[in-house]
Amino acid sequence: MSPSPPIPKAALYYYKPSIWASVPLLALEEKGYGPDEVDLKEVDLSKGENFKPQYLRLNPNATVPTLVVPLENTLSSEIESRYKAIQNTKAIVELLDKSRSSRSHTHTTSSAPAPALTPATIAFSAASNKIIDILHSDNADPNALVYVNARDDASLKELAKEVLPKVIAKRKTLEELIEGNETSQVPVSEKTLKFWELKMYAMDGILAVFKDADTPMDQLSAEAKKIREEYYNAANNAWSTLKNVLLQVHKEIIGPYTLGDQLSIADLHLAAWLARIAKLSGANAAEDGNTVTRKIEAHIGGFKLPKDFSVTEARRRAGLPTADIQSTERQNRFAAFWDAMKERPSWKKVYSDGLH
């Protein structure tokens, strides 16, 4: 008998500092996927690797994560048509959850248990979808917040040190792709070219703000001053809008996890999102939930989350020790969530290099 062909493997395209790619990375750990079940392929966003035609064929939006999965029972002999690329975080995590169960016969390489992360009831499923949709809405966009994380000249100068090298590198890649295409024997489609040009335009908009970040406002030309003022307006609006996002999500959390004491897929989205907001607010991975949320409140300014959750209850439900806690102590639900989440091996692994 000839040996059976190897089971085709899925591949997850990710970038470690990316917020949304962290969600499937958390899911892989929580589900107990073995390293030989999914190939991890890094796409360096800071160098614009995601704009290259090879990657655009997998994901025309040029974003991570992308999960490429083999399709079973295909009639086609074409290798390419036997794979399907899934291009958004929510669908990827749902698939990772469903594809590995404790009874799965095709994924036997890891003996770790594979708890179901998808909510089991219609009501929980609706709550989970609501939270995920809020976190992925434009008002909550954690990537946009990176660029508007300065509301005065001193913080703009600091932020420029981080943003400028990346934007310049991405712009260079786009420029090379566009120029290379002009002389290429196999030029890309009009659509791809337009996409690159639009991305270049976006990079130029960011550069216009950050290129003279070292110059104080009162020494700028009239035009540069106008750009800076518009930027501060946009930044103030973004952080002010975030208050509503936080309150909306807070209202949905049962505690300590979004749906109570069981981890679910909404928690993976929330963990990555909150880690980014915490980082932008100056918090770090070692800090506890109360400290982190105090920093978020202070960073937003004039904002307090409701302290409507019992600390003892939160810790008891998360399986954490409660002996040192005063039974009347209350905290906000993000703080309780943070404390529960940060104890998990998945979180420790994904945030081993600090928050991102």
Ligand X SMILES: N[C@@H](CCC(=O)N[C@@H](CS)C(=O)NCC(=O)O)C(=O)O
Chain contacts with ligand X (rule: CB under 6 A): 18-21, 45, 50, 62-65, 88-89, 136, 143
Closest to ligand X by CB, 143 or 240: 143
d(CA 311, CA 325): 7
60's CB contacts (< 8 A; 6+ apart) are 87, 191, 192, 195
Selection from 195, 231, 253, 235 nearest residue 61 by Cα: 195
**277 CB-near residues (< 8 Å, 6+ apart):** 142, 145, 242, 246, 296
Q: Shortest CA distance to 263 belongs to which of 43, 161, 115, 126?
A: 115
Other CB atoms within 10 Å distance of the CB of residue 342: 18
Nearer to ligand X, 84 or 304 (CB): 84
Taking the complex as a whole, how short is the minimal distance between the CB of residue 271 and ligand X, in angstroms? Answer: 14
- Amino acid found at 174: L
Q: How far is the CB of 136 from ligand X (least distance, A)?
A: 6
Q: Which is nearer to ligand X, 10 or 335 (CB)?
A: 10
Phi, psi (rounded to 5 degrees) for 167: -65, -40
Shortest distance in whole angstroms from residue 313 CB to ligand X = 32
CB of 97 to ligand X, least distance (A): 15
Return phi, psi of residue 310, to 5°. Answer: -75, 125
281 φ, ψ (degrees, to nearest 5):
-90, 5
Asked whether the beta carbons of 250 and 334 are under 8 A apart, the reply is yes
Q: Which two tokens stand for residue 126?
A: 């609706």
Question: Which C-beta is closer to ligand X: that of 165 or that of 260?
Answer: 165
User: Whole-number minimum distance, CB 24 to ligand X, in Å?
Assistant: 9
192/331 with CB nearer ligand X: 192
Nearer to ligand X, 92 or 336 (CB): 92
Min dist CB 122 to ligand X, Å, is 24
